[in-house]
Amino acid sequence: MRPEDILPTYDRVAAEFARTRDRTLFERKWLDRAIACAPGRKVLDLGCGPGVPIATYLTDRRCEVTGVDGAGAMVHLFQKNLPQSRVFHADMRGLDLQESFDMIVAWDSFFHLAVDDQRAMFSTFWTHAHDRTVLLFTTGPSAGEAIGRVGGETVYHASLDPSEYRGLLAEHGFEELAFVPEDPTCNGHSVWLARYRG
């Protein structure tokens, strides 16, 4: 399993992923915290998947969600689940939508990228940020690679060391608001929350 296999894999397993995706909203605490810190409710959801439960929850909280996913099958499901929201079939790497957002979310998506692509993504976050934009993303708890499973297939994950993520955030004008590795209140997810300060 390689990073370049991720999008074809998610295209193949989209329906099964959507059927089995945890919908208990264990992410709610972090989503609510991000909304509370953001200057508005215009949200960019990178690696949006089928839009359930995260984009749906954000929409229910009166957010205007724009989804982006590199897997066409996921984009189709997002359009079906959230017909009132915009969604783009595009790779998040090098993305430039020519607009900024109040909140950028990369939940369980960014960590599928190779480490060099993760480093480059901080320029993409910066491109879509304005004063006080909030950035919410998940990683691994420490540097390394791992193989997981989704929809019966294997998927690649990678993570930098937390100190490197901190350096990349600072280099691109983001201040760290919180980092909780393997948060026990969030199904063991390692979660970052940051805010753009210019």
Its domain, for residue 82, covers: 3-196
Give me the CATH number covering residue 118.
3.40.50.150
Peptide bond just before 53 cis, omega within 30 deg? yes
Note whether 9 and 47 are within 8 A (CB): no
Helix (H, G, I), strand (E, B) or coil at 15: helix
Q: How many CB atoms lie within 10 A of CB 135?
A: 28
Per-residue pLDDT of the chain (198 residues; tens, 9 = 90+): 788 999 999 999 999 999 999 999 999 999 999 999 999 999 999 999 999 999 999 999 999 999 999 999 999 999 999 999 999 999 999 999 999 999 999 999 999 999 999 999 999 999 999 999 999 999 999 999 999 999 889 999 999 999 999 999 999 999 999 999 999 999 999 999 999 998
Number of domains in the chain: 1
